[in-house]
Amino acid sequence: MRLFVAVPVPDALGQALFDAAQPYETHLPLRWAPLENLHLTALFLGDGWSPAQADMLALRIRAGLPELSAFEAPVEAIDLFPDARNPAVLAALFGRNLMLQALHDEVWQLLKDVEGVHKPRQRFRPHISLARPRGRSEAVLPPVELDGADLWLPVEEVVLYRSDFRPEGVRYRPLARGRLA
């Protein structure tokens, strides 16, 4: 099974992000993520996990993150990710947020000695995937800056999710929740 640890996105914030991302739809065909799937991945664990391993990870996640207090992270922009030339997703971006980096680091510390957990190969770049492009745009699309939009992600818990692949698309099922202090 495919597993990852993430911060869930409240529906109201998710809808506001979809609304802010609408300018992209006129220039680029998009397949929007379901509102209930929106999340900020703190640590991607990958494929091949057994139920017993998932239970061990869930036990660790339920212990929570007592070294990190709950906080809010401001959404800075909406843009193609990882870049406009080779977009994998249209995403809400957080920039270099030290609290989100600390969250990533704490989740890594919590899980790193569980058999099968490997150090991430890529640098942590916090984002919320909103849509997948279905092609390329000939137009250069500038980011949608959200400085004055007052859009904040509440970071109060992390969730161990399982990806369920279905004919109508992937859905994320929560397996365990852990609170921040």
Largest pairwise CA distance in the chain:
48
> Residue 42 to residues 99, 126, 133, 164, 167: CA-CA distances in angstroms?
11, 8, 23, 19, 27
Q: Per the structure block, which two tokens stand in for 58?
A: 């869930």
The closest alpha carbon to 34, from 142, 179, 163, belongs to 163
Among the CATH numbers 3.90.1140.10, 3.40.50.150, 3.30.70.3400, 3.40.1410.10, which is that of 2-179?
3.90.1140.10
Domain limits of the chain? Answer: 2-179
Summarised one tens digit per residue, pLDDT across range 31-44 is 999 999 999 999 99
SS3 150: coil
Compute the chain's Rg from CA coordinates: 16
Summarised one tens digit per residue, pLDDT across range 66-109 is 999 999 999 999 999 887 777 889 999 998 999 999 999 999 99
Summarised one tens digit per residue, pLDDT across range 8-58 is 999 999 999 999 999 888 888 899 999 999 999 999 999 999 999 999 999
Q: Per the structure block, which two tokens stand in for 134?
A: 């279905």
pLDDT of the residue at 28? 85
Q: Per the structure block, which two tokens stand in for 164?
A: 């369920």
pLDDT of the residue at 39? 98
Cα–Cα distance between 33 and 69 in angstroms, integer?
29
pLDDT of the residue at 168? 81
149 pLDDT above the threshold of 90? no
